[in-house]
Amino acid sequence: MKFVIDMMGGDHGVETTIGAVKEFLKLHDDVYFYCVGNVECLSPLEGLDRVTIVPSIEVLKMDVDPMEAMHKKDSSLNIAMETYLKENCDCLVSAGSTGALVSEGVFKIKRMAGIKRPCLVSPFPTVIKGKNFVCADLGANTENTSENLLQFAKITSIFYRIAYNCENPKVYLLNNGTEEEKGNNLMKETYQLLKNDPSINFKGNMEAREPLNGECDVLITDGFTGNIFLKSTEGACKVMSNLIKRSFKTNFMTKIGYLFAKKGFKDMSETMDYKSTGGAMLLGVNGLLIKAHGSSDVRTFVSSLKIGYRLSKNDIINKIKENL
């Protein structure tokens, strides 16, 4: 299996990616890495078995304009895309700019036949142990039509079926109320399209406080709202987790309390750990492109590599194409 990694992307660049590649090499002996980046920075990888260093010069900023990114031909992301095609790779992973990954992905790897726009799809944990749902679109687009959302629902259902081995995934539309007539114009239109498409197991609207409870398999929304949903949820979980850590430090008794409660606290943290499910996939292009979290640490980046590994093993791209 051949991975190509944009080693320079993300808030922490090589500090994260080098450690992650090394760790992943130990986990799997059937993986080969093309590591794209500044040669000096990548020296810790020199001489390693199953690693080829591919030199690049420029590093795209996290807030680069996607159109500008396309013109920076020597960037690590651009060279990674070219390496993906040239070496016939199975998976590309980058923690860099989402906008750049989407625009380069569409431009270089191309959309699947019939797909108007790709969408960013990511798994979320739920209170049911081991159960994830996926949400699309998490921000590949900032404006969507109801036809786009219908297509996201179709392709994400196929993705969920294959990736999670679930015969008939339950699809919900993220909305401001559960009744059919709820929502802004986009959601009202999308509701009708989803309801009338027999290929989708559409179950109706879902309010934003519900998805983590585990009833939903596929949650459909536009890219802007998806971004708000993802980050609100992340932010609230992080705040709750920090608050409880802080409150345990109040005095001697609470510190003792923490020692006893540690196990329980760890269970909770693991259930809602976004880092362990980390990595969004750009669904709808002719290749497996994984967007790792911009603030990825080694563990999060390894999670993204794991997702890539599992999906590649599953031959996900070809299976989606067959099913479209």
Q: Which residues bind its own copies (CB under 8 A)?
A: 63, 65, 127, 139, 142-143, 174, 176-177, 179, 181, 183-185, 187, 207-213, 223-225, 227-244, 246-248, 250, 253-254, 256-265, 267-268, 271-272
Residue closer to its own copies, measured from CB, 43 or 213: 213
Tokens found for residue 142: 């900032």
Neighbours of 275 (CB within 10 A): 17
What residues contact 304, with CB distance under 8 A and at least 6 apart? 93, 95, 278, 279, 290, 291, 292, 293, 296
Task: Compute the least distance from the CB of residue 237 to its own copies, in Å.
Answer: 5
Task: Compute the least distance from the CB of residue 313 to its own copies, in Å.
Answer: 31
Task: Compute the least distance from the CB of residue 171 to its own copies, in Å.
Answer: 18
DSSP letter (8 states) at residue 112: P
Instruction: Single out the residue of 219, 130, 217 nearest to residue 170, CA to CA.
Output: 217
Ramachandran angles phi, psi of 55, nearest 5° = -75, 140
Task: Compute the least distance from the CB of residue 144 to its own copies, in Å.
Answer: 9
Report whether 206 contacts 172 (CB < 8 A): yes
**DSSP labels for 294-323?**
TT--HHHHHHHHHHHHHHHHTTHHHHHHHH
Task: Compute the least distance from the CB of residue 175 to its own copies, in Å.
Answer: 9
Report whether 142 contacts 136 (CB < 8 A): no
Instruction: Single out the residue of 2, 8, 16 nearest to residue 36, CA to CA.
Output: 8
Residue closer to its own copies, measured from CB, 3 or 124: 124
Task: Compute the least distance from the CB of residue 158 to its own copies, in Å.
Answer: 26
| Angle subtended by helix axes 146-163 and 316-323, to nearest 10 | 130
Residue closer to its own copies, measured from CB, 79 or 220: 220
Residue closer to its own copies, measured from CB, 144 or 312: 144
Residue closer to its own copies, measured from CB, 32 or 248: 248
Residue closer to its own copies, measured from CB, 165 or 251: 251
